[in-house]
C-alpha cells in the first residue's frame, strides 16, 4: 500500500508548479508587489498551457486521467480565480478605491471561474468515458486571463489609464465570458506555444518598466 495519497510524476508536476506560483503571487499581491504577482500569474498560465502536452507523454490509467482533470481544476481556481482577485485587491488598495463594490466584483469573478471549471470537468469526464476528444470550449477558458490581465495592465501603464477602474471592469467582462455558452476554438499544440511566446514581451515589459 502507498504511504501517501495522490500521484507524483513528471506528468502532474507542472500543475503543482502552477498552484505554487499562484500562492506566491497572492503573497506578492497582498504585500503590494503587483508586478511580481502578475509575473506569477503568467508563470501559472504557461504551466497550465503546457501541462496537458506533458501529461499525454505518459500512458496513464483511467484513475490517473481523472486525477489529472480534478487537480488541474483545483489548481486553476487558485491560479486564475483567487490570484486575479488578489491582484485587484492590491490595485484597489494602492489607488484607495477598494470597497464593497470591489468585494462584490471579486466574489462574482471567482464564482464564475469556479462554475466554468466545474462545468468543464463534468463535460471532460463525459468525453473521456466516450473516448472522444474536445474540439472546442464552451465559455472562455480561465487560463487565458494569464495573458489578458497582464496585457490590459500594461496598456493602462503605457497610456496612464485609471488601472483600478479598468481592472474592475475587466473582471466583470471576464466573469460573464466564463459562463456564457459560446463555442471557442480549442488551440492545438503549436498555437499553445504561440500564446506562451506572445506573453514573453509583456512579461519583460512588466518586469523592467516602471510598474507600481
Q: What is the pLDDT of residues 40-62, one digit of tens each?
A: 999 999 999 888 888 888 888 88
**What domains are there in the chain, each with its CATH number?**
10-208 (1.20.120)
- With 90 as the cut, is the pLDDT of residue 80 above it? yes
Q: What is the band of 181 on the pLDDT scale with cuts at 50, 70, 90?
A: confident
Alpha-carbon distance 29 to 14, whole Å?
A: 22
In tens, the pLDDT along 10-36 reads 989 999 999 999 999 999 999 999 999
Consecutive H or E run containing 183: strand 183-185
- Report whether 65 contacts 128 (CB < 8 A): yes
Alpha-carbon distance 75 to 71, whole Å?
A: 6
Q: Percentage of the chain with pLDDT > 70?
A: 95
Q: Percentage of the chain with pLDDT > 90?
A: 58
In tens, the pLDDT along 152-170 reads 999 998 898 999 999 999 9
In order, the DSSP letters of 84-136 are HHHHHHHHHHHHT--SHHHHHHHHHHHHHHHHHHHHHHHHHHHHHHTT----E
Alpha-carbon distance 84 to 201, whole Å?
A: 20
Alpha-carbon distance 30 to 87, whole Å?
A: 8
Alpha-carbon distance 109 to 171, whole Å?
A: 6
Q: Which three cell numbers stand for residue 187?
A: 488551440
Q: Give start and end residues of each alpha helix (H) in the chain.
A: 10-30, 34-55, 62-77, 83-95, 100-129, 145-159, 163-179, 189-208
Amino acid at each position: 500500500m502507498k504511504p501517501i495519497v495522490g500521484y507524483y510524476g513528471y506528468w502532474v508536476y507542472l500543475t503543482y508548479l502552477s498552484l505554487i506560483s499562484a500562492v506566491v503571487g497572492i503573497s506578492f499581491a497582498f504585500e503590494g508587489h503587483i508586478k511580481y504577482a502578475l509575473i506569477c500569474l503568467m508563470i501559472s498560465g504557461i504551466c497550465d498551457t503546457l501541462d496537458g502536452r506533458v501529461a499525454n507523454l505518459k500512458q496513464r490509467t483511467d484513475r490517473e486521467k481523472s486525477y489529472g482533470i480534478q487537480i488541474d481544476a483545483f489548481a486553476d481556481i487558485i491560479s486564475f480565480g483567487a490570484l486575479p482577485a488578489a491582484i485587484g485587491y492590491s490595485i484597489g488598495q494602492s489607488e484607495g478605491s477598494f470597497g464593497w463594490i470591489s468585494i462584490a466584483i471579486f466574489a462574482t469573478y471567482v464564482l464564475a471561474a469556479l462554475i466554468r471549471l466545474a462545468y468543464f470537468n463534468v463535460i471532460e469526464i463525459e468525453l473521456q468515458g466516450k473516448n472522444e476528444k474536445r474540439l472546442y470550449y464552451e465559455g472562455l477558458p480561465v487560463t487565458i486571463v494569464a495573458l489578458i490581465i497582464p496585457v490590459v495592465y500594461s496598456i493602462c501603464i503605457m497610456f496612464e489609464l485609471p488601472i483600478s477602474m479598468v481592472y474592475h471592469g475587466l473582471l466583470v467582462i471576464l466573469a460573464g465570458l466564463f459562463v456564457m455558452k459560446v463555442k471557442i476554438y480549442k488551440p492545438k499544440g503549436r498555437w499553445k506555444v504561440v500564446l506562451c511566446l506572445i506573453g514573453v514581451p509583456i512579461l519583460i515589459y512588466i518586469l523592467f518598466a516602471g510598474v507600481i
